[in-house]
Amino acid sequence: MLTVVIPTLESERTLVGTLATLIPATVAGVVSQVVIVDGGSRDDTLAIADELGCDIVSAPRGRGTQLAEGARAARQPWILFLHSDTRLDEGWHREAASFIERVESRNEADRRAAVFGFALDDYGFSARLLEVIVRVRCALFALPYGDQGLLISRRHYDRLGGFKPIPLMEDVDLVRRIGRRGLVYLRARAVTSAARYRREGYLRRMARNAGCLTLFFLRVPPRLIARVYG
Half-sphere exposure for 69 (CA within 13 Å, toward CB): 22
Quick: pLDDT tens for 90-115.
999 999 999 999 999 999 999 999 99
Contacts of 53 (CB under 8 A, 6+ apart): 34
Q: Is residue 74 in some structural domain?
A: yes
Using alpha carbons only, give the angle 149, 152, 157 rounded to the nearest 5 degrees.
Answer: 115
SS3 58: strand
Q: What pLDDT is stored for residue 230 in this prediction? A: 62
Q: Is residue 82 in some structural domain?
A: yes
Half-sphere exposure for 93 (CA within 13 Å, toward CB): 17
Q: CA–CA separation, 89 vs 33, rounded Å? A: 19
- Our count of domains for the chain comes to 1
Q: Is residue 50 in some structural domain?
A: yes
Q: Is residue 63 in some structural domain?
A: yes
What DSSP string runs through 96-111? HHHHHHHHHHTT-TTT
pTM above 0.85, yes or no: yes
Residue 5: strand pairing partners: 35, 81
Domain housing 118: 2-198
Q: Is residue 224 in some structural domain?
A: no
Q: What pLDDT is stored for residue 148 in this prediction? A: 98
Half-sphere exposure for 153 (CA within 13 Å, toward CB): 17
**Which residue blocks in the chain are alpha helix, DSSP H?**
12-20, 23-27, 45-51, 63-73, 92-105, 125-141, 154-160, 170-178, 195-200, 202-217, 222-229
Q: Is residue 117 in some structural domain?
A: yes
Quick: pLDDT tens for 10-56.
999 999 999 999 999 999 999 999 999 999 999 999 999 999 999 99
Q: Is residue 16 in some structural domain?
A: yes
Q: What pLDDT is stored for residue 123 in this prediction? A: 92
Quick: pLDDT tens for 49-91.
999 999 999 999 989 999 999 999 999 999 999 999 999 999 9
Quick: pLDDT tens for 152-209.
999 999 999 999 988 889 999 999 999 999 999 999 999 999 999 999 999 999 998 8
* Residue 119, domain CATH: 3.90.550.10
